Structure 1
């Protein structure tokens, strides 16, 4: 009886190993370029702010002196002028009151309007809102002044609030329409099955979910009102001046008080920067809410 044995592999044969893949060298040029680009952008935006803050702590002589660009003796005289002699506390109150009132009224009217346009697909109304966003508000200053002067409203808070609402209301409707489009309709349908009315479903379900969008629209509307200059310049009075208009008190016919001007500019800029810093997450989430639909 014959037996067969399996062939034994040659122990002396070398083992074949697969070739190791070549590792790509990391590109060092791209991180360097990105760092340089970011540094240029940051310096471009930060440099004017730094110069503004430094100039607000200098005298007018030191502002014109190139050797005192960074090494100088700081002074608070410009801020004493702003808050003491220029009555800027009243102007700060005016800006806050007009911005708050115009934003609150625009949200009160714009959020239900945006919800209706989103849920009932009102394309014509949406086109009108978009047209109102495109038309520059400056083109309506002359008709506004003519109408409000005949109504004897020029110089009051009401005319400034209404004029700011013309820009804030389309902005809020435009943002909230995209936000409502991103919310599923099934949530409201389920709420109505459970016994809620359409208005109740909007108030109890949709509106709480749309808080980031409302916050975004309100913040952007308030920032616009705070920074607006042209409407307040034409339609405000001596007691209803806002900060962007009051800053021109430091500009005279023959000279400019650069120290006081920069101190007033810091007073205007700091509140908006603080608001934007603490509410940036709401702004980002609200602006990108409608981008995930589909």
Structure 2
């Protein structure tokens, strides 16, 4: 009994050590967003706001076109995730059923390749066709993020769907498309959910594409926060408030769907022997 308790205590201590730096940074950013500039620059640092102020959040909306940047992020991320699902789910099915291991490796390489590697050729292409600074250009570039994630996850899911079920549907007269739509697709719904969630998180947080390809009226929230920095003086309170507002949608999605994320990744990682 004591040994089991020690193991459990050791596990929770290890988790605490691993996540505590991220938690402390987040709490410090939260503290900055509710303090005035005098407290934010005080030494020794003031951690607990007394009293908390909301002016930093009001400044974010008053001094920046935050609503426009939020809408741009919704358009870019939503479009990239939707197109990624429309392309990635059938692609994952085809690779899984065709046992195309080489294509799976290419998808993995595409996922591992830094996004910056795609930026220069895409910028030159969009410059030639006049799409630099448009929402369309950002949606297309974000497909580099969403499609590899979704395809890779869906390959694992479709490999776990018993082929016998589809064969039985074909014996009953179903076409390949019908077997995919009515048999394989419903069984792979958890994979579609987890693929969409992870694609949303990575696309929403992307910074570099919007900085280079986004225009004044098309930049997304992460780059808008970056552009709010000034060389004369950094206002830490409004900057922290803006960063929290950018992070809030991802936090909400992660908290609400944490069970689906864990269950989806676990199920997708299982392979039949």
- Once the two structures are overlaid, the 10-residue window that deviates more, 30-39 or 164-173, is 30-39
Distance 2:173 2:34 in 1: 63
Q: 2:224 aligns with which of 243, 246, 252?
A: 246
**Equivalent residue number for residue 28 of structure 2:** 51
1:68 aligns to 2:46 (yes or no) = yes
How do 1:116-265 residues align onto structure 2 when only pairs under 5 Å count? 116-265=94-243
Q: Number of paired residues?
A: 271
Aligned-pair CA distance for 1:288: 1.8
Distance 1:133 1:291 in 2: 17
Distance 1:166 1:32 in 2: 42
Q: Deviations over 1:55-89 (max 9, x none)?
A: 10111111122353215211111111111221101
1:179, 1:286 within 8 Å by CA — same for their partners in 2?
A: no
Change (3 A) 1:42 1:113: closer
2:34, 2:49 within 8 Å by CA — same for their partners in 1?
A: no
TM value normalised by structure 1: 0.87
Q: 2:260 aligns with which of 282, 285, 290?
A: 282
Q: Which consecutive residues of structure 1, in runs of 5 or more, have no partner in the other structure? A: 1-23
Distance 1:27 1:133 in 2: 40
Change (3 A) 1:69 1:209: same
TM value normalised by structure 2: 0.93
Distance 1:213 1:268 in 2: 26
**Structure having the higher Rg:** 1
Distance 1:130 1:91 in 2: 31
Distance 1:155 1:80 in 2: 28
Change (3 A) 1:229 1:26: closer
Q: 1:37 aligns with which of 14, 28, 48?
A: 14
1:213, 1:285 within 8 Å by CA — same for their partners in 2?
A: no
Change (3 A) 1:200 1:28: closer
Aligned-pair CA distance for 1:123: 2.6
Distance 1:154 1:111 in 2: 29
Distance 1:25 1:266 in 2: 42
